Chains A and B, each alone.
Chain A
Amino acid sequence: MKTRTVLSGAALAAVTVFLFGCTQGTQGIFSELEQEEKIFSNNLGDGLVAELVLLPSSGDNAPTYVVRKGVRLSQRRAVQDDRSGEGIWQVIQPPPGRTGAQFLAVTTDTLYGVYFTGGNSLSFGLYEYQRNPEANAVGNWGENLYTGETLDQITGLSAVDLTGDGAAETLLMTAYARSTGTSGPRSLVVNPHDTPRTLAMDGGGDDMRRAVVTTSGPAGAESTVWIVGNGLQYTTATNITSGSAALTLAPAPVGFSDLAVYRVGTTEWLIATTVGGDIYAVAPENADDADAWQEVGSRSGTSFTTLAVVSDGTAEGLLVFGTGATRSVVSRGLFDGAFSLVDGFPSISLREPRGNYSSTQIRTTSVDRFFVDRITPADIDDVETLRLFALTPNLGLFRADDYSGGADETWISE
């Protein structure tokens, strides 16, 4: 009888442990369903969305978003005073003879695109987008603008603002010519659309993911351009505009994945992510010192792919961090990062986004890149708002309007 009682108790305990122990997730399933709301879905669809740029208004054309989804470009109006009818995505046809799009960048009010031709003889061209005079209609591409050294591969395109007027006026391109080796050392081509100048890069060079500018830099540089790729290379703005010195490889943290600039008044910080789940910060003038990079946040079991500054200018702002999978870590979705200064140095505390984030598919996939559209109000009395986009490798494009890390954030699929 005693044995039977013990066995019954053990069985009951086993069932209890089984019932309440087998739980996976961050929120109750029924509770999550109870709160789920249908998100609006535009016509862009699933798939890789690799780049997003904003074309400012021009003539009868409203501000326009352009995305590269796979090798195809699409555009849609980014109506900033009426968010209810922003239109659908329209496909932009490639230049004649070209197969697909590879990179995008906007300088001031002009969109440039790198297109390739497939087949046995891969070739590339740099094109300027001619907007359609008819309001919000799709335009077309002009002639190939690149007339410099023959290139076998273009590996990155970005635009930077070296004058500090808020508009990127300088186009940068990383590329290699196979004639100098099996794949060739990467070099940085400045203004490839106009009068290209080529700067050598440190080591074997790097593919450019993005370029950012700080008003200070190592060795007392007044203004520095940072080329973000698999590593981090930099040079002075002066060198970009007129010099010829090679770029320098910065001692970025191990597993470096992306970089952003956070500004507090006139002070700037370089914030870097790593695939190991760490976040580092350094003052631009000290970025050439490996010991100056300090860990300011981390998340175990997470691989950070990218980051973006959502709000800065104050000692307490907001960043967002995208995650992805590596060979050893599977992480998905994104995190909010609350920025603060502790003893004058940045500190970032991470948390999962709130609002409808947990019920949208964005939490189930990697985020490769963000795009922040700062919307300046027409009326000076209105506050600036922003629109945050998250670019994913398989589920398309998501956006959240007025993103501030609050509980009422709404992610919408594009």
Chain B
Amino acid sequence: MFFLVHNRQLFRAAVVALVVFLLLTPTLSLAAQEQEDEQFVPTYGLGDQMISLNLGLFIPLFFSGGPDGITATNLSLGATGHLAWSGYLSDSMAVGGEFGGMFAFSPNSNPLYMIPLAARFTYIIRRYPFEFPLTLAGGINFVTYNESFKVDPILIPGAGVYWNLDTEWAFGVDLRYWIVPQLYLGQSGISSDDNRLGNFLAITASVLYRF
């Protein structure tokens, strides 16, 4: 009788243990897989490419270099966007080009348009799933306002924070500083007194695709 009872208790214990094991097995298996996933960090290299689209706010900061020193731009808050392409040189470096534009309004609602066309270099600091691209773009900037038109050089240093959804897609925010030296060397009868250094800030949301 004791034996029977004892055996019945052992049997019950074995069944419970089996059920618990069966329930825990998938969980343990998933945990092990997740641990394995965390260790996977995508890398990119020569031959990989990326394109990104940015849209956001354009903040006119100030003009400098004129007879009055640092002065207000008198421009409204504007909008900006650009399309960029880069090819990876290594996991942390890429080179490419970008094409963009901005507009903002003067006190009398006259629009100022600037359209930069630039080459860009990107250095990427990675902390998966985040990455922090540092970019430097340089090129030419088409500026038009009222009846005036000018082609200026432009330099755009910038930094960003991106979150990688997967190996292809990433989303982020870029902060870029537009430096636009507007130099007149007497052409069209415009005095060099009108030389100014334009300082602007662009804050944009970005979607990035790698292929």
Taking beta carbons and an 8 Å cutoff, which residues of A are in contact with B? 15, 18-34, 36-39, 332, 359-361, 363-364
**Taking A34-B73, A38-B107 as contacts, is the C-beta distance between A28 and B194 under 8 angstroms?**
yes
Residues on the A chain within 8 Å of B106, using CB: 33, 36, 359
Partner of A23, one of B71, B153, B184: B184
Q: Are B153 and A19 in contact (CB under 8 A)?
A: yes
Q: Which residues of the partner chain B approach A30 to less than 8 Å between Cβ atoms? A: 63, 73, 180, 182, 194, 196, 198
**What is the interface of chain B mostly: helix, strand, loop, or mixed?**
mixed
B200–chain A nearest beta-carbon distance, Å: 11
Q: How many of chain B's residues have a CB under 8 angstroms from any CB in A?
A: 40
Enumerate chain A residues within 8 angstroms of B66, measured Cβ to Cβ: 31, 34
Q: Are B108 and A28 in contact (CB under 8 A)?
A: no
A25 touches B107 (CB 8 A): no
Report if B9 contacts A (CB, 8 A): no
CB < 8 Å: which of B146, B182, B188, B190 contacts A364? B146
* B149 is an interface residue with CB less than 8 A from chain A: yes
A29 touches B143 (CB 8 A): yes
Chain A hits for B185, CB < 8 A: 20
Q: Are A29 and B188 in contact (CB under 8 A)?
A: no
Do residues A361 and B63 form an inter-chain contact, with CB atoms below 8 A?
no
Residues of B within 8 A of A36 (CB): 74, 106-108, 110
28 A–B contacts, CB within 8 A, in A order: A15-B140, A18-B151, A19-B152, A23-B151, A23-B187, A23-B188, A23-B190, A24-B149, A24-B150, A25-B147, A25-B149, A25-B150, A26-B148, A29-B145, A29-B150, A30-B180, A30-B196, A33-B106, A33-B112, A33-B145, A34-B68, A34-B72, A34-B73, A34-B74, A36-B107, A36-B108, A37-B74, A363-B146
Q: Restricting to B174-211, which residues have a CB under 8 Å from any CB of A?
A: 180, 182-185, 187-191, 193-196, 198
Tell me if B145 and A32 are in contact (CB < 8 A).
Answer: yes
B148 proximity list for chain A (CB < 8 A):
24-27, 29, 32
Inter-chain contacts of B191 with A (CB < 8 A):
28
Residues of chain A within 8 A (CB-CB) of B190 are: 23, 25-28
Q: Does B75 contact A (CB under 8 A)?
A: yes
A15 and B148 CA atoms in complex are apart in Å by 20
Instruction: Say yes or no: A26 contacts B189, CB within 8 Å.
Output: yes
A28 touches B196 (CB 8 A): yes
- Apart from A25-B146, A36-B110, 13 more pairs, CB < 8 Å: A20-B187, A23-B188, A25-B190, A26-B189, A27-B148, A28-B190, A29-B112, A29-B150, A30-B73, A34-B66, A34-B71, A34-B73, A360-B108
Query: How far is it, in angstroms, between the C-alpha of A31 and the C-alpha of B195 when the chains are bound?
Result: 7
When C-beta atoms are compared, the residue in chain A nearest to B198 turns out to be A30
Q: How far is the CB of B67 from chain A (nearest CB, A)?
A: 9
Task: Say whether B145 contacts A20, CB under 8 Å.
Answer: no
When distances are taken between beta carbons in the complex, the residues of chain A under 8 Å from B149 are 22-25
Tell me the smallest distance from the CB of B46 to a CB of chain A, in Å: 25
Which residues of A lie under 8 Å from residue B152 when comparing CB positions?
Answer: 19
A29-B182 contact given A20-B187, A23-B188, CB 8 Å threshold: yes
A-B pairs with CB below 8 Å: how many?
110
Enumerate chain A residues within 8 angstroms of B189, measured Cβ to Cβ: 26
- Closest chain-A Cβ to B15's Cβ sits at a distance in Å of 83
Q: Within the assembled complex, what's the spacing in Å between the Cα atoms of A21 and B198? A: 19
Which residues in A have their C-beta under 8 angstroms from that of B150? Answer: 22-25, 28-29
Select which of A22, A32, A332 is within 8 A of B151 by beta carbon: A22
Q: Which of A27, A332, A363 has the most CB of B within 10 A?
A: A27
Complex contacts, A31 vs chain B, CB 8 Å: 63, 66, 193-196
Q: Point out which of A20, A25, A361, A364 has the most chain B C-beta atoms below 10 A from its C-beta.
A: A25
A274 smallest CB distance to B (angstroms):
24
Chain B residues within an 8 Å CB radius of A361: 108, 110
- Asked whether, in the complex, the Cβ of B147 is within 8 Å of the Cβ of A21, the reply is no
Complex Cα spacing A359 to B112, Å: 12
Residues from chain B with Cβ under 8 Å of A33 in the complex: 63, 73-75, 106, 112, 145
Q: Which of B108-167 contact A (CB under 8 A)?
A: 108, 110, 112, 140, 143-153
Asked if B188 and A34 make an inter-chain contact with CB atoms under 8 angstroms apart, the answer reads no
Q: Which residues of A contact B71 (CB under 8 A)?
A: 34
A residues within 8 A CB of B188?
A: 23-26
| Nearest chain B residue, comparing its CB with the CB of A21 | B187
How far, in Å, is A58 (CB) from chain B's closest CB?
A: 36
Roughly how many angstroms separate A361 CA and B107 CA in the complex, as a whole number?
12
Residues of B within 8 A of A15 (CB): 140
Distance between Cα atoms of A28 and B148 in the complex (Å): 8
CB distance from B193 to the nearest CB of A (A): 8
CA distance A23 to B185 in the complex (A): 10
Taking a contact as CB atoms under 8 Å apart, the answer to whether B140 and A18 are in contact is yes
The 3 closest A-B pairs by CB, nearest first: A28-B194, A25-B148, A30-B196
Tell me the bound Cα distance from A15 to B153 in angstroms.
Answer: 10
* CB-based nearest B residue for A41: B108
Task: Give min CB distance, A400 to chain B, whole Å.
Answer: 15
Cα(A37)–Cα(B193), bound, Å: 19
Residue of A nearest to B145 (CB): A29
Contacting residue for A34 out of B63, B108, B180, B187, CB 8 A: B63
Known: A21-B187, A34-B71. A359 touches B108 (CB 8 A): yes
| A-chain residues with CB within 8 Å of residue B145 when the two chains form the complex | 29, 32-33
Cβ-neighbour of B183 out of A20, A22, A25, A332 (below 8 A)? A20
